[in-house]
Amino acid sequence: MTWPFVILLILAGLLKIVVTCLPTGVVEWLISKYELHQKLSNETVTVTIDGKHLVGADKIQVINYFNEALYLERYYTSLENSVTPLIIDTTRGKNNVRLFVYIYNDRVDVVKTYKKKVVAYRLRSDNLQKRSFVVTEDLA
């Protein structure tokens, strides 16, 4: 009767040690699976404003500014749509992700759509808030 209890206790202790001491790579992978404001890479991203693509240095600069932005909060209220958004199309694994980036003087609002889900959150990015975008290629 005591041997099964001792073996179960040892297995539970080993499981606790394995779960609490995961390697850094595994922890980063788990965090990135549930990260709301994920980093974008230049190769898999298309940036559009007013139906026209941003290309070259402007596209790279927008992606860098977006990646450097500070996450403020997630919210559940509707957005005011008085501003033309930047539309960022990318992929996350096998899923297509579309980000609508609304830039205001005091904040940046992002609406993320993926897998029939819609999530809205707010960022702070001085560079994006002060930036004027030069559209260089028509969407055709």
Q: For position 2, what pLDDT does the model report?
A: 85
Nearest residue to 89 (alpha-carbon basis) of 130, 53, 36, 129: 53
- Residues 38-73 pLDDT 10s: 888 888 899 998 888 888 888 898 899 999 998 888
Q: Kindly give, in sequence order, each residue whose CB lies less than 8 Å from that of residue 58, ignoring residues fewer than 6 positions away.
A: 133, 134, 136
Q: Which pLDDT score, from 0 to 100, does residue 76 have?
A: 80
pLDDT in tens, 85-124: 889 999 887 889 999 999 888 888 999 998 888 889 999 9
pLDDT at 137 over 60: no
